[in-house]
Amino acid sequence: MGKNIVILGTQWGDEGKGKIIDLLSPYAHYVVRFQGGHNAGHTLVVNGHKTILHLLPSGLLHEHVIGIIGNGVVLSPVDLMNEINMLKEQGVCVKDRIIISEAAPLLLSYHIAMDKAREKIIDKNINLVIGTTGRGIGPVYEDQVARRALHIGDLKNIKCFSTYLKKNIDYYNFLLSNYYHEETINYDNVIKNILEIRSDLLSMTKDVPEILNMACKNNHTVIFEGAQGTFLDIDHGTYPYVTSSNCTAGGVCSGSGIGPLSINYILGVTKCYTTRVGLGPFPTELFDEIDLHFFNVGKELGSSTGRRRRTGWLDIVALRRSIKINSLSGLCMTKLDILDGLKNIKICIAYKLSNGIEITNTPFCINDWNDLTPIYKTIPGWMESTAGIKSFNLLPLAAQNYILEIERLVGISIDMISTGADRTETIILKNPCI
């Protein structure tokens, strides 16, 4: 019996989604990206060999898997082709196993130029600096909402496409030169580059909602791959320090064309501590030797931009919110091994406001987010190594208790535990795909 499984991040991204999707992909026919773009960095480690995917679905290392890029994904054609070629050089041929929705918005060089221009500190008087990945994500989603985006399917009618492209480039050039005093974009270069790969792109486009519908009818298993994380969601995140798409479960339907009643299981991937890249609120953030431990032992450098990830303790208040708004069926806790050797482990169980009031829900407004002091529960750590352990019973007792305590605090089951970066270094208590 086929299933539709969603796997998404419950924190601020980089929870280890890529590893888990790769691990479960042998059970899937299709792996579908439904939001985000090449701002994502999903790391897969197989027999010590590391592959980082940005735009392509994380199941593609398995030869039988078909990767789908849904309409909710903003697609940089140049980065897509580069990633396909990167995999080809590794001996993994994916071009014939990729399906792209005709309705996916095209992310082009002027979006990147605009994103970078806005992020320059010098511009902080005319817009907020977010610490984006600088990959053009915000501007292209703005185009979509403003109803001026160009989609892959528009490449079928090149005359019409060129006219709209010219209009868009004129619009962006006006802003780039007048507001940001940046170099403008050359239309001829953009159209030349896109014409070179036009037929490759069109050969991959198909009617994705129809394919997903057929997959359900044929009892095929589909994994929907979240990018970013719940608190980077444009609507439910720490706005305005968010990405520009819906990373939460609601985005699966709007970003791919599957109906909500077809989803069978939603797995929330959660790091045993917390990390965040870029600016914005982070209640449990640390600036002490534990931060250094997480950074050094957890190798917390961004997979896309190489920036140092900020680190902090696990935040149960945020996790509970994530469980509710995503209808999570179960959790996968990752990077348990990074807690090895810590004498005490803290878990944030509530927040205190500056007026002394305690709250147990995440707030909505940026000023309220900035007013939170975490209240911690401390539980004993363990000195033994958990690295690579594949069975719950083999974990040190204190590590077992840590997992059971989280389960008790959040009220849903922890179905998987990751104890290392490699595909195999995982405890599977309940396989969502079976």
Q: Which residues are catalytic?
A: 14, 42
Binding residue for ligand IMO, selected from 10, 109, 133, 246, defined by CB under 6 A = 133
Binding residue for ligand GDP, selected from 4, 7, 10, 18, defined by CB under 6 A = 18
Per CB under 5 A, which of residues 38..77 are in contact with Mg ion? Answer: 41
The reply to whether 303 sits near Mg ion by the rule CB under 5 A is yes
Query: Up-side HSE of residue 300: CA atoms within 13 Å toward CB?
Result: 26
**Considering beta carbons, is residue 43 or 329 the nearer one to ligand GDP?**
43
Please choose which of ligand IMO, Mg ion, ligand GDP, none residue 130 contacts, taking the beta carbon within 5 to 8 angstroms, the exact cut-off set by kind. ligand IMO
What is the rounded end-to-end Cα distance, in angstroms, of the chain? 9
Helix (H) or strand (E) holding 216: helix 208-217
Per CB under 6 A, which of residues 4..33 are in contact with ligand IMO? Answer: 9, 13-14
CA angle 82, 88, 91 (to 5 degrees): 155
C-beta nearest to ligand IMO: residue: 278
Binding residue for ligand GDP, selected from 33, 42, 97, 321, defined by CB under 6 A = 42
**What's the closest the beta carbon of residue 127 comes to ligand IMO, in angstroms?**
12
Helix (H) or strand (E) holding 80: helix 77-89
Strand partners, 266: 6
Closest CA to 310 of 334, 339, 335, 285: 285
The reply to whether 272 sits near ligand IMO by the rule CB under 6 A is no
Contact 334, 20 (CB under 8 A): yes
From the CA atom positions of the chain, what is the Rg in Å? Answer: 22
The reply to whether 10 sits near ligand GDP by the rule CB under 6 A is no
Query: Could you tell me the two tokens for 189?
Result: 């270069």
**Considering beta carbons, is residue 17 or 111 the nearer one to ligand GDP?**
17
Please choose which of ligand IMO, ligand GDP, Mg ion, none residue 118 contacts, taking the beta carbon within 5 to 8 angstroms, the exact cut-off set by kind. none
Give helix 137-145 / helix 109-119 axis angle, nearest 10°: 110
The reply to whether 281 sits near ligand IMO by the rule CB under 6 A is no
Q: Residues interacting with ligand GDP, by CB under 6 A?
A: 9, 13-19, 41-43, 45, 303, 334-335, 337-338, 418-421
